[in-house]
Structure 1
Amino acid sequence: MPPAAASNLGYTPPDGGWGWAVVFGAFISIGFSYAFPKSLTIYFKEIQEYFDVSYSEIAWVSSVMLASMYAGGPVSSILVNRYGSRPVVMVGGVMVCTAMVLASFGTTIIHLYLCIGVIGGFGLAFNLQPALTIIGTYFHVKRPMANGLAMTGSPVVLSTLAPLNQFLFDSFGWRGSFLILGSIVLNCCVAGSLMRPVNKNASPEPKAEASECNGAAVEETAGTPSANLLTEENQSGSKSPGCMDKFIDFSLFKHRGFLIYLVGNVVMFFGFFAPVVFLAPYAKHLGIDEYSAAFLLSIFALVDMFIRPATGLIGNTKLIRPRIQYFFSFAVSYNGLCHLLCPLADGYVGLVVYAVFLGLAFGMVSALLFEVLMDLVGAHRFSSAVGLVTIIECGPVLLGPPLSGALVDIFGDYKYLYYACGVFMLVPGIFFFIMHYFNYKRLDEEQRQAEAVDMRTSYHSCEEAVELKTGRDDKTVPETEG
């Protein structure tokens, strides 16, 4: 394990204990957040026929839900900063349940947009962001591993919900299935109940000078050269967030590492989801039967399921952890290369090989996506950071698949879609490599300057102490006999 460093929290995270129960709760909450919009596509064909709408109109149900989940990030951040993760996740579970129950009585496609898309999407936002935030309060040394295990919830829940939804659809139709799914998603409330706030008084962090702002300890100084462990003055050019920033920290837009992450991710998300969405249609386009095409997604999900915790373990090693941003840059670039080479895959065997490598690439990025953000801004600012990032990423998440589909409509061939997605992933991957090289270099320089200032301050303090003692000795005159 790498040595524990200052956590910017004002206390030492337990890195275990009840934290593993919290990881299990986050596993469930994150799993439903990412898997639920994808799993609902099983019902689309019957709903499309029932309401007599086009495929593009019915496809907006999942798109609006996913976009609402990202757009609800800042609201979720404000609530988490004010009330903590536990109540927010439980409210989110109730919202998604309510959305599914109301949708089961839907009479128009607009009704589904509002219920599933908007209400359900915001409920998923209340499940996702608090689950990511609370892991940073319980873990520091083992945080990459904990994040990797929690993010594994997405492929596990998806692989469970897909066959379950098919069974419910065959047995009860889409209306009855929505009622049952509403009760199933209440498990998020159980997951939220596990997210007990960390006991900050149990193990105070040594030599940490902290100030209180609305009950949240914010460390004033830090002392290691990691990307998130320098002073906020060095990182952003401004002081740490004050009490006026209690709701959401907009000073992050002056934070160098945060801006690097944000710019790269906005470009990356235009090509992140589309290759997965169009994998089965691409296989059918090549003349592969629909069951074999669907099996490609199963292969992808299986590989994704195992690579996420493995990525967390690798990211937690002594070699990778101090420069984990390079690991993330490699994962993004690797995604781009996979997509660029996909059109060269020959026949079904070639697509199986691509599905395996796509699962590796997608799982690596997913496992590191929020860990590297926490590494850049620190755990105490992560809640605000992820809220700001998700609302900005809402646009690429919503527009990426439709734009990719438009390329298929224009050229009549899927290979141009994969070329475009490859470029959208490879360019930000190279951007991350270059910018993080200069960012790490700058951080090392700032660390050396901070150490030099500390040495000079200590030297002057010693001089003043010597002068003060000398002055006292000079004033002391020994008594002599007359």
Structure 2
Amino acid sequence: MLEERKKRFSSVEGGPWGCVVVLAAFCIQFLTFGTTQSIGVYNIEFLRYFETTAAKVSLVGSINLGVVLGTGPLASVLMTRWSHRQVALLGAVLCNIGLITMPFAPNLEYMYAFYGVLSGLGYCLVYVPSHVLSGLYFLKHRSLATGIATAGSGMGAAVFPVVMFKIIDYYGWRGSLYIVSGLNLHLLIFAALLRPVPKKFLKTIAAAEELQTLNVSKKRRKSEVNGCETENITPVNGQISNCDCNEIDTELDVNSTMLSADEKLGTYARLRKHFLAVFTIDFIIYWFSNICWNAGGAIVLIFFPEYAYSAGLSKENASITYTMAGAGSCIGCVLGGMLGNIKYFNRIGLYIGGNFGAGIVTLLLTLKVLHTFAGLFMISLVFGLMFGIILGLLVVVTSDLLGTEALGDGFGYLMFANGIGVFSGPPLAGLLIDMYGDEDLAMYLSGILTCCGGLTMCGVYVRKKLCGSRVRKEITINVEL
């Protein structure tokens, strides 16, 4: 009976609109991160035009990326009140308003406000709903679907630097921004394609996931309570009055049970339930890991074009080598999604490997023997590949740690962690360059921080070793309200 229901669930997941949403999410990330991650190409122009320091120029990109990622919780809150499509359309409008004002910028402070904050907020509101929605349409192929969607960010990072270099060379940095603004207007179209998941379909996916969780938990976690085998079931609020495993009905309507319980909870109890569902020990470890690798990765994304230029490459070759990070990221996102979609594959282990791989490659970037076009080309490509693997696993690892019910909230908090890392990394690296005049220090810092992201995530295995493997439950049994 269970196998028949699983087959029925897997046959309906996604559907034609699921494919459309994944494609729209891919295009949204192509434009969003293609623009934000390519701001490093403009840094060379800003340094000369405004005659300022590397730290101040780096703030333009770091504020933008920091707000893009750091305002994730706001996007999650809006998604609980509006549809994913409505939030994304609002974001598309805001980011275009911020971009169209950039050519009139009289100073860097102006750019901090309009490009950094306003466009950053807009990009967040269009990115988070598209990314979460692409995962909600799928269960069996969720990792692959989100990996394909995330590949758009790598493709954008591969294409935009070359395009921006050409249009800057022809139209100047101010004129080029009009073209970039025009391209970003397409976000309105792609946001409009984010059709909400049908409620009946969403319940089917949630029920299938719950059955899968129940089946896996019975195999992985068994303990003796009153002479019978039962799982670790954590109540949402209050105490569990009966642990008799024979009373657990695997055909329980999870959504109806949760909804009826929520209606009886007060504000404090709702908040308590929310934070207990999201901030598990494993997710907190994952949260800090994201701060580390985002701080390290953002340094490379912001400073690599300038670093390659100072290493002796021409502006054009520096832009070309920078695009390889985007190309590698595109491949890595799909590869990470495919590997993560394999049954019983260790996704957390792959995520940790991506962190260490990206960190080690960044440290190798400082070797002078590699400061050639071919050397920087390969370093950038491999870094992008490792970085893409991490990105391709973000949603599915969050889902593994929290479940579908808390995926939207959890991903919003995760974006906040990413924003902290992105906002703090580049200014610190710029400060080191200004103080010591050595750009290698920025890359050393980047590599160490990225490796720390992988090392921090190893805490999940340490926690499991010390406390045992605990399977999260999303059902409430005999709870005293």
TM range (shorter): 0.7 to 0.9
Q: Which residue of 1 aligns with 2:363?
A: 340
Instruction: State the Cα deviation string for residues 156-175 of structure 1 (Å, max 9, x = none).
Output: 12333333334443454444
Q: 1:405 to 1:443 in 2, by over 3 A?
A: same
- Please tell me whether the aligned partners of residues 347 and 397 of structure 2 are also in contact (alpha carbons under 8 angstroms): yes
Instruction: State the Cα deviation string for residues 87-136 of structure 1 (Å, max 9, x = none).
Output: 11111111111222233444444333222222111101101111121122
CA distance in 2, matches of 1:164, 1:390: 28
Shift of 1:380: 2.1
Equivalent AA in structure 2 for residue 314 of structure 1: L
Shift of 1:86: 0.7
Shift of 1:287: 3.7
Q: 1:395 to 1:97 in 2, by over 3 A?
A: same
- Please tell me whether the aligned partners of residues 235 and 256 of structure 1 are also in contact (alpha carbons under 8 angstroms): no
Equivalent AA in structure 1 for residue 351 of structure 2: F
Equivalent AA in structure 1 for residue 132 of structure 2: T
CA distance in 2, matches of 1:80, 1:29: 17
Q: Which residue of 2 aligns with 1:80?
A: 79
- Please tell me whether the aligned partners of residues 4 and 141 of structure 1 are also in contact (alpha carbons under 8 angstroms): no
**Number of residue pairs matched by the alignment:** 432
Residue 140 of structure 2 aligns to a residue whose secondary structure is coil
Q: 1:237 to 1:11 in 2, by over 3 A?
A: farther
Q: Which residue of 2 aligns with 1:369?
A: 394
Q: 1:432 to 1:236 in 2, by over 3 A?
A: farther
- Please tell me whether the aligned partners of residues 236 and 254 of structure 1 are also in contact (alpha carbons under 8 angstroms): no
For residue 354 of structure 1, the aligned residue among 379, 383, 393 is: 379
CA distance in 2, matches of 1:422, 1:5: 47
1:61 aligns with 2:60: yes
TM norm structure 2: 0.77
- Greater displacement, 288-297 / 421-430: 288-297
Residue 195 of structure 2 aligns to a residue whose secondary structure is coil
Shift of 1:20: 1.0
Q: Which residue of 1 aligns with 2:228?
A: none
CA distance in 1, matches of 2:103, 2:458: 48
Shift of 1:259: 1.1
Q: Which residue of 2 aligns with 1:436?
A: 461
Q: Which residue of 2 aligns with 1:31?
A: 30
Residue 346 of structure 1 aligns to a residue whose secondary structure is helix
1:223 aligns with 2:222: no
- Please tell me whether the aligned partners of residues 156 and 326 of structure 2 are also in contact (alpha carbons under 8 angstroms): no
- Greater displacement, 396-405 / 240-249: 240-249
CA distance in 1, matches of 2:305, 2:40: 13
Q: Which residue of 2 aligns with 1:384?
A: 409
Q: Give the number of the structure whose alpha-carbon radius of gyration is greater.
A: 1
Quote the sequence identity (%): 24
CA distance in 1, matches of 2:399, 2:52: 43
* Unmatched runs of 5 consecutive residues or more in structure 2: 222-230, 238-257
Q: Which residue of 2 aligns with 1:468?
A: none
CA distance in 1, matches of 2:368, 2:129: 40
- Please tell me whether the aligned partners of residues 34 and 159 of structure 2 are also in contact (alpha carbons under 8 angstroms): no
- Greater displacement, 97-106 / 123-132: 97-106
Shift of 1:400: 0.6
TM norm structure 1: 0.77
Residue 204 of structure 2 aligns to a residue whose secondary structure is coil
Instruction: State the Cα deviation string for residues 172-204 of structure 1 (Å, max 9, x = none).
Output: 444444344333212111111211111232585
- Please tell me whether the aligned partners of residues 71 and 391 of structure 1 are also in contact (alpha carbons under 8 angstroms): yes
Q: 1:270 to 1:103 in 2, by over 3 A?
A: closer
Residue 379 of structure 1 aligns to a residue whose secondary structure is coil
1:266 aligns with 2:291: yes
CA RMSD in angstroms comes to: 3.8
1:306 aligns with 2:360: no
If asked which structure has higher relative contact order (CA below 8 Å, sep 6+), I would say 2
